[in-house]
Structures are given as C-alpha cells and as structure tokens.
C-alpha cells in the first residue's frame, strides 16, 4: 500500500484546504468530534454545515467501512463551532497507526483544543446491554501499535504522559451533560484490538480478567496522538452488543449499526449538551 504522509506538514496542508473550502464562514472550532459506526446522525444536527468528502481532503484516503459516511463537516452544534469526522480510518483496513491518528493532527491544525471520540464497542462488563453508553475513563492498547513510532514530529511530545489520557475535567463535564439531558452514562475501561474479526469467547474472558469493560477496534491511536500534540481528549462508547460468549447471539456489523441507530437520540443529546458547555 502506498505510504501517505501523516506528519505536521501534511496536517497543515489539509487544514489550509479545509479553511479555504469553508471560506468566510470559517470559525475556530471548540472541538473536533469523530463519529463511530452507526452514530453519524449527529452530523445532521449541525447548522450552516459545509461537507467535504474525505477523498477531497489532502492526505485522507477513501473510507471503506459501512456506516461511515466519509465526510469532514464544519458547522455549529449547540451554537458552538465544531469540526466533525463522519467516519474514521482503521488499521484493519490496511492503514498504519499513524494514518489512523492523522485526522487528529488535522483537527489540531484547525485549532480545535478538544478531541471528542465516539465508537461502537462490545460490552465485556457483564451488566452492559446493547444501547448503553460508556464514558471511557482509561484504555488498554492491545493493538500493539503506536502512532508515535518513528521520528518525532515538530511540536510532538516524545514520551507523552498517559496517566489521564481521557481528561478528568472533560469527563466531569460529560457526566454533567448526561445528567442535564437525563441520559444514563456508565464509565469504564476501553480495550483497543486491531480487528477486523470480533473477539473469541476465550479472548473476551481474558479481557474481562485484565479489567476491560468494553472492546473495539479504534480510538486508542487517536487519543495517543491527541495527548502527544497537546489536545485534551474525551470519549464515549456505544455498547452495541454483549461480547462473544456473554450471550447466545452471533455478532455482525449489521447488529452494530442497528444498535448505534437505537441509541442515536440519547448519544446526540449527550454530545450536544457537552459541546454547549465547552
């Protein structure tokens, strides 16, 4: 696969293109938001939206996953300027960790101080049900990949502290937003695996013993990148199913999409209330 530049220079080029496309309506965003599988409906709540296909943004490949629109969208949410990514790049598509995290660099180059990630995840915690929302308090990187491997980019921290990868103040703000809109919000540990296969029952039992509450195939490289470049990060998982072996149901991407749609209203209300408080 062709190597795509993913450093600061490439991010600056992409950001300049985006600002030019938006034109006079451009406002510095209070946050950059990525929408996971089945959660893209939030993009429809943006006012004065300018939509740019990923394929038009310098350095962005075409998205290949069903349920990811593959658009970068600039607009206002709850009267606050934001940039949204309706879709993301996964390592299981053949991308390396640097490219999976590259959109975070672009959001930073656009001036966003906060990175808000969302994802679809399998529930490892036995009390989780499909449709639950989980605020990520911490993560495990069992992808065994890191977007910072290689020469250090200008402005990056070589050894970023990961004591609090998910900003405590932003998590408190998300809990406040959840209470305000009456959305139940759990909190737990997210484990990132490469995929694209779902986990086996034995792997799920292992993750449970390691302390994971949910498991998915994204977010971890993005948050590592956010921390290295000085962005504050917060993330919410939509629990789309019980992980393998915790129920008698077979797992499928269609099920993930359906669960995302079922929780869409609560998720959209939560993120809107959060952004309003930034």
pLDDT tens over the chain, length 278 residues:
456 678 899 999 999 999 999 998 899 999 999 998 778 889 999 999 999 999 999 999 877 655 557 899 999 999 999 999 999 999 998 899 999 999 999 999 999 999 999 999 999 999 999 899 999 999 999 999 999 999 999 999 999 999 999 999 999 999 999 999 999 999 999 999 999 998 999 999 999 999 999 999 999 999 999 999 999 999 999 998 877 656 656 666 666 667 667 778 899 999 999 999 99
Q: Which residues pair with 53 in a beta bridge?
A: 71
261 neighbors 216 (Cβ within 8 angstroms): no
Of residues 10, 117, 241, 259, which has the active-site annotation? 241
d(CA 158, CA 144): 18
Q: Give the 3-state secondary structure of residue 112.
A: coil
Of residues 17, 49, 78, 92, which has the active-site annotation? 92
257 is catalytic: no
Of residues 37, 118, 119, 237, which has the active-site annotation? 37
253 is catalytic: yes
120 is catalytic: yes
182 is catalytic: no
Q: Give the 3-state secondary structure of residue 107.
A: helix
119 is catalytic: no
Q: Outline where the chain has alpha helix (H).
A: 8-22, 97-109, 168-180, 201-210, 220-228, 253-262, 264-276
Of residues 101, 120, 174, 212, which has the active-site annotation? 120
Of residues 78, 141, 247, 253, which has the active-site annotation? 253
Neighbouring C-beta atoms of residue 94, cutoff 10 Å: 11
d(CA 65, CA 43): 17
139 is catalytic: no
> For residues 244-266, b (16+ Cβ closer than 10 Å) or e, as one string?
bebeeeebebebbbebbeebbeb
> How much is the pTM?
0.92
56 is catalytic: no
143 neighbors 91 (Cβ within 8 angstroms): yes
- The two beta strands, 71-77 and 47-53, are antiparallel
Q: What is the pLDDT of residue 162?
A: 96
Q: What is the pLDDT of residue 271?
A: 97
Q: What is the pLDDT of residue 1?
A: 47
Give the architecture (CATH level 2) of 8-276.
3-Layer(aba) Sandwich (3.40)
d(CA 56, CA 29): 20
Q: What is the pLDDT of residue 98?
A: 94
Q: What is the pLDDT of residue 37?
A: 77
């Amino acid at each position: 696969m062709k190597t795509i530049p993913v450093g600061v220079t490439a991010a600056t080029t992409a950001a300049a293109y985006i600002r030019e496309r938006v034109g006079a309506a451009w406002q510095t965003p209070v946050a950059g938001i990525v929408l996971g599988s089945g959660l893209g409906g939030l993009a429809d709540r943006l006012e004065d939206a300018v939509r740019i296909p990923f394929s038009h943004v310098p350095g962005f490949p075409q998205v290949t996953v069903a349920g990811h629109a593959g658009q970068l969208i600039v607009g206002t949410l709850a009267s606050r300027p934001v940039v949204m990514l309706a879709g993301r790049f996964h390592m299981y598509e053949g991308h390396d960790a640097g490219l999976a995290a590259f959109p975070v660099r672009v959001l930073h180059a656009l001036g966003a101080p906060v990175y808000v990630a969302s994802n679809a995840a399998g529930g490892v915690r036995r009390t989780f049900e499909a449709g639950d929302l989980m605020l990520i308090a911490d993560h495990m990187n069992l992808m065994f990949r890191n977007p910072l491997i290689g020469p250090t980019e200008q402005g990056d921290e070589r050894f970023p502290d990961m004591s609090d990868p998910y900003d405590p103040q932003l998590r408190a703000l998300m809990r406040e937003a959840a209470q305000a809109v009456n959305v139940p919000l759990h909190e737990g540990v997210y484990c990132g695996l490469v995929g694209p296969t779902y986990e086996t029952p034995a792997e799920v039992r292992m993750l449970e013993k390691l302390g994971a509450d949910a498991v998915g195939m994204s977010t971890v490289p993005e948050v590592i990148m956010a921390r290295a470049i000085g962005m504050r990060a917060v993330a919410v998982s939509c629990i789309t199913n019980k992980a393998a072996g915790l129920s008698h149901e077979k797992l499928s991407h269609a099920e993930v999409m359906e669960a995302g749609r079922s929780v869409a209203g609560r998720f959209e209300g939560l993120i809107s209330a959060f952004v309003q408080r930034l």
